Amino acid sequence: MGENTSLMTVALAGLGTTAVLAFATWLASLARRDASLIDRIWSLCILAAAAMYFFLLPPQAVPRGLCMLLIATVWALRLSAFISWRNCGHGEDRRYRQIRERNQPNFGFKSLYLVFGLQAVLAWIVSAPFLAGMSAARELNMLDAAGMGLALFGVAFESIGDAQMARFKADAANRGKVMDRGLWRYTRHPNYFGEACVWWGLWLMAIAGAGWGGAWVAVSPVLMTVLLLKVSGVSLLEKDIAERRPAYRDYIARTNAFVPGPRRGEPR
């Protein structure tokens, strides 16, 4: 009972950490009139929760915890830096402008719970594998190796995909064209596929440490995958893109949405 209470206390400390960071970003968003600032710090909220678990939990799981924390650090800093660079100078993201328009008047206050509070809670839920993995005393094993391999593959896959898209957009000759090269030839969203791999890999590491009693933390990769496929990822981005860019319809017909695979309608 005492151990469960202690674990709950640590979990709530993680929630408090994500809430404080989200609140500070909300204050900055009021000054800049830019609710999309949350996208820049969301990964850092998860990293902060993971770091909180690592330092508050007993030291028996240090090797696994350190490996998980290092993966989280590489993932979070890379993603935050990339989104900050990509959005710099462009003002509030179009998705957040639409949310702002739908929730007037007083969107500034409403955004505290509609955007920032919600994102703080989601970040906390997604951080669950760190809580389970860092609280387990089992030694590192082959399942940890598989999880680390999958998570690092995911970081590399999404990083390469983002870099390829950035180079494509930087070339003025590609304006109006559809990116269908590199990893984007095999999946319409290599960044999202890589992101899902990161969280399923971290879940495997949590299972490696906590056993199947920690299977409940599958809520993290399941939530992330649903968000990527059905909420803020594929569905939202492609909602009207085929209407605005007819060439994208052909790209959709030939290319997998998520899991990489051979292009349809082409000789093998």
128: tokens are 């669950």
Distance CA(47)–CA(221), nearest Å, equals 16
According to the model, what pLDDT value does residue 2 have? 44
Where do we find the tokens 């939530």? 223
Q: Are 252 and 187 in contact, with CB atoms under 8 Å apart?
A: no
Q: Is 219 exposed, middle or buried (0-12, 13-18, 19+ CB in 10 A)?
A: middle
Domain ranges of the chain: 1-65+90-125, 138-268
Mean pLDDT for 157-175 is 94
Distance CA(236)–CA(253), nearest Å, equals 18
Distance CA(109)–CA(26), nearest Å, equals 9
Q: Is 144 helix (H, G, I), strand (E, B) or coil?
A: helix
Is a pLDDT exceeding 50 seen at residue 1? Answer: no
Distance CA(42)–CA(133), nearest Å, equals 21
The per-residue pLDDT of the chain, averaged, comes to 90
Mean pLDDT for 222-250 is 79
Is a pLDDT exceeding 80 seen at residue 67? Answer: yes
Distance CA(228)–CA(233), nearest Å, equals 4
CA dihedral 163, 245, 259, 75 (to 10 degrees): 30
Is a pLDDT exceeding 90 seen at residue 245? Answer: no
According to the model, what pLDDT value does residue 240 have? 66
Is a pLDDT exceeding 50 seen at residue 27? Answer: yes
Q: Is the peptide bond before 221 cis (omega within 30 degrees of 0)?
A: no
Distance CA(11)–CA(89), nearest Å, equals 36
According to the model, what pLDDT value does residue 4 have? 54
Q: Are 51 and 13 in contact, with CB atoms under 8 Å apart?
A: no
Mean pLDDT for 229-246 is 73
Helix axes 190-210, 62-87, angle to 10 degrees: 160
Q: How many CA atoms lie within 13 A of 171 on its CB side?
A: 10
According to the model, what pLDDT value does residue 136 have? 84
Mean pLDDT for 193-206 is 97
Q: Which of 165, 220, 157 is nearest to 193 (CA)?
A: 157
Is a pLDDT exceeding 80 seen at residue 237? Answer: no
Is a pLDDT exceeding 50 seen at residue 157? Answer: yes
Distance CA(118)–CA(19), nearest Å, equals 9
Q: Which of 10-19, 167-176, 191-200, 248-257 has the lowest mean pLDDT?
A: 248-257
Mean pLDDT for 51-61 is 84
According to the model, what pLDDT value does residue 95 have? 85
Is a pLDDT exceeding 50 seen at residue 51? Answer: yes
Q: What is the pTM of this model?
A: 0.91
According to the model, what pLDDT value does residue 5 have? 53
According to the model, what pLDDT value does residue 248 have? 82
> Could you read off the pLDDT of 86-100 as tens digits, one per residue?
998 888 988 899 899
